[in-house]
Structure 1
Amino acid sequence: MDALPAAETIDGKTRLILAGEQLFAQNGINGASMREIATKAGQGNHAAVQYHFGSREGLVRAIFDYRMEQMEAERGAMLQRARAMGRLKDARTILEIILLPQLHLHDADGNHSYASFLSQYLLQSRSPEFGDFSGSEPPHLTEALRLMRERVDYIPPYVAQRRLISVSLMFLNILMRHHGTDEAEFGESFPDALEDTMEQIVGSMCMPLRLVPTQGATSDS
């Protein structure tokens, strides 16, 4: 297994976070051992993950915290522009603030390993609370999620959370599916695919809730 490229500016704890992200992305959140992560991070101590993070769950939380912090400045700038333009109630604008900063997150190999890691995490999410993913609450993301919840206040919070997870997976799929490919292979450019996906996302997130009772449905006895 190849170790992460040497980088004097990255401390050992951060190397464990980045190694964990890559291996979780490749093998699943429960599919990579703590020993493998330590080895990939270039740590001689195979218990380094437990030492720094306590557990697998602690490492998962650290990955979220690390990446969320990286996106905060961009989200803050996007919120500031949206506020100046009077677009804080525009669904497309809010969803861009939530999703687009992930475009710039790459691992040491130039891949979107965080997108794959996050996809796997979201598929396991069971929380009905809107915006509840990792427990991380960076202020700019928290503000964007609050604006989104206000924008779709006509649907119940558990529906809003289900939709938020669904549209996040749509966005992450574009990052993973189109990475490293050319236009000829897909018949469309990445910007075109992204624009179409964002329009789908807005429609899926904001559509009215229409529940039609099933014909002949009976109550459980």
Structure 2
Amino acid sequence: MAKREIEMQVLPVSEAIDGKTRLILAGEQLFAQNGINGASMREIATKAGQGNHAAVQYHFGSREGLVRAIFDYRMEQMEPERGAMLDRARMTGALKDARTILEIILLPQLDLQDADGNHSYASFLSQYLLQSRSPDFGDFGGSEPPNLTAALRLMRQRVDYLPPYVAQRRLISVSLMFLNILMRHHGTDEAAFGESFPDALEDTMEQIVGSMCMPLRLASVGTASA
């Protein structure tokens, strides 16, 4: 496929943003900085400007409820772009192309910057995935938005030669590859890495496609060592 032109933008944050959303964004930032289990509910409420230190429990019930709310909030933001990308892939006959499908799954995260211009969601998601033990393909916090679900279904069909647990392991691995470059490279001086962010992203996407789609060779390795 032709190299995708990367356009970065900060999603607007309204000054009149409601208190529940402020808690979601504050939780995302503090979880990103301190770990999902490293930030207290009181700290999150304070950062969100809430006088009631039990505001997180009031709105979300628990830490796990807030984590789910962060996923739901960000997934909803990415759904329109994923829908547009699915439509383009459908019109061009690219719904079976691995690179196209992986772009639909991963690239909408490029636009998710917090109020400080950082990719706190990428850091938050990385920590969640590193803790995840789910064998279910495409398990990202329990949220199942339709466009992401459709893209994950296409990806599973594309790698139907892999056992489900292998496909899930690879999906987590390639997601971490993408999130890592997003956190490390974007917004830094090009001279610090010797390459531009679009070039680094293009190379990483090629690695991701290869890692996700390579044949499973465990059986042949076992035979050779017997």
* 1:90 corresponds to 2:97: yes
SS at structure 2 position matched to 1:106: coil
Q: Which residue of 1 aligns with 2:108?
A: 101
1:61-210 correspondence runs (5 A): 61-210=68-217
Take 2:82 and 2:102, find their aligned partners in 1: how far apart are those partners?
Answer: 11
Q: Which residue of 2 aligns with 1:48?
A: 55
Q: 1:180 to 1:142 in 2, by over 3 A?
A: same
Take 2:154 and 2:124, find their aligned partners in 1: how far apart are those partners?
Answer: 26
Take 1:8 and 1:168, find their aligned partners in 2: how far apart are those partners?
Answer: 32
* Greater displacement, 180-189 / 70-79: 180-189
The structural deviation recorded for 1:182 is 1.3
Give the TM-score, by structure 2 length: 0.91
Q: Which residue of 2 aligns with 1:213?
A: 222
Percent identity for Structure 1 against Structure 2 = 91
Alignment RMSD (CA, Å): 1.4
Q: Could you give the per-residue CA deviations for residues 169-218 of structure 1, whole angstroms, max 9, x where no partner exists?
A: 0000011001321111100000000000000000000000011128878x
Query: Which residues of structure 2 form unaligned runs of 5+?
Result: 1-12
Take 1:7 and 1:139, find their aligned partners in 2: how far apart are those partners?
Answer: 26
SS at structure 2 position matched to 1:169: helix
Take 1:186 and 1:214, find their aligned partners in 2: how far apart are those partners?
Answer: 42
Of 36, 44, 67, which residue of structure 2 is paired with 1:60?
Answer: 67
Q: 1:15 to 1:185 in 2, by over 3 A?
A: same
Q: Could you give the per-residue CA deviations for residues 81-103 of structure 1, whole angstroms, max 9, x where no partner exists?
A: 00000000000000000000000
Q: 1:79 to 1:40 in 2, by over 3 A?
A: same
Give the TM-score, by structure 1 length: 0.93
Amino acid at match of 2:74: R
Q: Which residue of 2 aligns with 1:3?
A: none
SS at structure 1 position matched to 2:222: coil
Aligned residues: 212
SS at structure 2 position matched to 1:213: helix
SS at structure 2 position matched to 1:154: coil
Q: Could you give the per-residue CA deviations for residues 17-52 of structure 1, whole angstroms, max 9, x where no partner exists?
A: 000000000000000000000000000000000000
Q: Which residue of 2 aligns with 1:16?
A: 23
Greater relative CO (CA pairs within 8 A, separation 6+)? 2
Query: Which residues of structure 1 form unaligned runs of 5+?
Result: 1-5
Of 24, 36, 42, which residue of structure 2 is paired with 1:35?
Answer: 42
Amino acid at match of 1:186: F
Take 1:104 and 1:75, find their aligned partners in 2: how far apart are those partners?
Answer: 12
